[in-house]
Amino acid sequence: MGHVLEVDNIVKQYGKSKKNSGAATLALAGVSFFVDAGEFVAIMGPSGSGKSTLLNCISTIDAPTSGSIRVAGRDVTKIRGGELAKFRRDQLGFVFQDSNLLDTLTVRENISLALTIQKKPTSEIPPMVDEIATRLGIAEILEQYPYQISGGQKQRAAAARAVITKPSLVLADEPTGALDSKSSKQLLETFSTLNHMGSTLVMVTHDAFAASWCSRIIFIRDGALYGQIQRGALNRTQFFETIVAATTQMESEAANAR
């Protein structure tokens, strides 16, 4: 399996420009890693560590100051304008903390919208939506509107929308942050199903329970890569305990460095 995502020496600075000669804030300090096809990877780190900035750069919402980010073999830092919008639409799927479903559309219409934008033949869209909705256990809410369903159902619908176009990479930013424990578990089960279906996922999270569903954890601290751990043969409970221990150590070292 090849690398779906290659992050190479990414640096991100804020606050310094030709008009502003003051000291710059270094949000990312030369981060490098890769994600292979079929992986489910979590990015973790303390508040202010740079993990959200990193995800913003990968998702093309923000541009790094230097370095390269290759998604499906293309360096997204070199794509511009309409070509970048098309690349984002075709190659990236997104699940945010807020589902961002359109309230005036039914769940079916929300999921279908991405295919309509891609100019998929109208006759092919309903069976594609029905298939992914059935796989993710949301077929019964397809004709309902977002205001009629729970937060967890909204996030599962958002996950269906994210993968319906078969993107190379699905990015999730704190997707369980606004959910109760039951809805969080259902969403993580949905992500696991998508991963087993072949989707490659990268999730930013502060939650060790959410991270325990992943196959690998990348830790970021002070804008730099702190370390990585693999799940390997560990069950989810054992991996959760390993993540908690690693997180505790990282936070302790950060506190001692102050």
What mean pLDDT, rounded, does the chain reach? 94
Nearest to 225 by CA among 22, 20, 31: 31
More confident call, 19 vs 54: 54
For residue 128, the model assigns a pLDDT of 97
pTM of the model: 0.93
Which of 220, 230, 223 lies closest to 251, judged by CA? 220
Per-residue model confidence (pLDDT) at position 251: 85
Radius of gyration of the chain (CA): 19
What are the structure tokens assigned to 163, written together? 């993968």
pLDDT (0 to 100) of residue 19: 60
Q: What's the rounded Cα separation, in Å, for the pair 16 and 124?
A: 49
Q: Give Cβ neighbours of residue 67 (< 8 Å, ≥ 6 apart).
A: 7, 8, 9, 10, 11, 30, 31, 32, 77
pLDDT-derived band at 15, boundaries 50, 70, 90 = confident
pLDDT on residue 3: 95
Could you tell me the CA-to-CA distances from 162 to 165, 178, 200, 244 in Å, in that order? 7, 18, 12, 29
- Quick: pLDDT tens for 160-171: 999 999 999 999
pLDDT tens sequence across 171-188: 999 999 989 999 999 999
Per-residue confidence (pLDDT) for residue 22, from 0 to 100: 63
Go through the domains of the chain in sequence order and give each one's CATH number.
3-257 (3.40.50.300)
The answer on pLDDT for 18 being more than 60 is no
